[in-house]
Amino acid sequence: MATEYSVTPGKDLETIDINVNVGPQHPATHGVFRMVLTVDGEQVVDVDPIIGYMHRGAEKLSENCDYRQAIGYQDRTDYLAQFNTELCYVQAVEKLAGIEPPERAEYIRVILAELNRIASHYMFMGAFGTDIGVFGTAFMYTFRDREIIQDLFEEITGERMMYAYFRAGGVAWDVPEDFRERCREVLSAVRKGIGDIDGLMTDNEVIIARCRGVSPVTPEDAINWGLTGPMLRATGLEHDVRRAEPYCIYDRFEFDIPTGIQGDVYDRYLVRLEEMRQSVRIVEQALEGMPEGPIMAEGLKRTLRLPEGEVYMRNETPRGEYGIYLISKGGDKPYRLKIRSPAFSNLSALRAMSIGSYVADTIVTLGSIDIVLCEVDR
């Protein structure tokens, strides 16, 4: 017997919005991240991002370590761009202590940081493709190529992920003798890899259909929401901390700052792709200019004691402006160490970017932020 549905006549029916929970364990959330979507049919009415599943108190822990030990926690914030975060931290310490690292160390740092940027963007390309629904197309190629860079890092530091290789005053030890040749090998693989991705993804019909015009952001909104990095540049604002407030030796290299036009998801992808090419350019120049010589500043004590003072050091990491606010009140431990996480600020704009779009587009928008939850939660 078929079930009969009947509507009581005369009673008003009302439409209610439904809450949909996404995460914390979900392939599209890139780690442990939860969001509660309030949907009206397919349309998103409200988004409540819930973070903190990876909150470890890295800032508090760093305040209880000496300046060298705290380097390890930097690796564990943005675990896809460890060299970039380490670089920011050790520079903050150097600024306060008045240490000048030797030339060779600076070149090594730039080369590794830029290679790390490429590796991180590879990761983005692969994971993003998975979000959109072109799993095999990009993922396999990008992970194959990322592994080539990862191997080089392992040869230098002995670690696959948690390098702890940069030190205040230089780097922990010198690079292997065949560093230049190995870098050139990696670069030629990267150049080919970028071409592969470009060919596979840029004109891919699925990607254009899912990304073009999704969550466009104006430059004014981007600044107001605190977006930085590729998210900001995709809106058309030509800003890069490496150029605007040069640190390390970035003022010596020639590179372009790619920008987008509409600030949508597709532009964010294009900006990242072009950034990889620019990073290759920087590494090439740095390899040319890298001198021989010491890799550590001279006359440093085993335990670093900093004078009183404070600094807000900012770097351009693959996700945007990474900041270390370091306060010293003397002694061998930071008094306060605040990590300004770019993914944290970028993610806080998810609500504003997603309201009014479709549920499926929210996932794409989230993917385009390129979050690393360890960095968001710290």
- What residue ranges bind another protein (CB under 8 A)? 50-52, 55, 57, 59-61, 64, 95-96, 223-226, 228, 237, 239, 244-245, 301-302, 308-314, 321, 323, 325, 327, 336, 338, 340, 344-345, 348-349, 352, 377
Distance from first CA to last CA of the chain, Å, rounded? 58
Q: How far is the CB of 190 from another protein (least distance, A)?
A: 31
Q: How far is the CB of 348 from another protein (least distance, A)?
A: 4
Residue nearer to another protein on the CB measure, 121 or 340: 340
CA angle, 119 then 145 then 374, to 5°:
35
Q: Which value, to the nearest 10 degrees, does the dihedral of the CA atoms of residues 52, 116, 163, 247 take?
A: -90
Q: How far is the CB of 55 from another protein (least distance, A)?
A: 4
Closest CA to 260 of 246, 276, 273: 273
Residue nearer to another protein on the CB measure, 232 or 363: 232
CA angle, 353 then 359 then 360, to 5°:
100
Q: Which value, to the nearest 10 degrees, does the dihedral of the CA atoms of residues 95, 99, 101, 106 take?
A: 0
Q: How far is the CB of 229 from another protein (least distance, A)?
A: 12
Residue nearer to another protein on the CB measure, 11 or 302: 302
Pairing of β 43-50 and β 320-328: unpaired
Q: How far is the CB of 198 from another protein (least distance, A)?
A: 30
Separation of alpha carbons 35 and 335, rounded Å: 34
Residue nearer to another protein on the CB measure, 284 or 332: 332
Residue nearer to another protein on the CB measure, 145 or 375: 375
Can you tell me which residue has the tokens 């600094």?
311
Contact in structure between 319 and 229 (CB atoms under 8 Å): yes
Q: How far is the CB of 35 from another protein (least distance, A)?
A: 12
Q: State residue 272 phi and psi, 5-degree precision.
A: -65, -40
User: Which is it for the CA torsion 113, 118, 120, 121, positive or negative?
Assistant: positive
Residues in the chain: 378
Q: How far is the CB of 243 from another protein (least distance, A)?
A: 10
Separation of alpha carbons 322 and 337, rounded Å: 13
Pairing of β 43-50 and β 34-40: antiparallel
Residue nearer to another protein on the CB measure, 60 or 212: 60
Q: How far is the CB of 371 from another protein (least distance, A)?
A: 13
Can you tell me which residue has the tokens 């009947």?
6
Residue nearer to another protein on the CB measure, 90 or 149: 90
Separation of alpha carbons 125 and 230, rounded Å: 13
Residue nearer to another protein on the CB measure, 51 or 118: 51
- The first and second tokens of residue 314, run together, are 């900012």
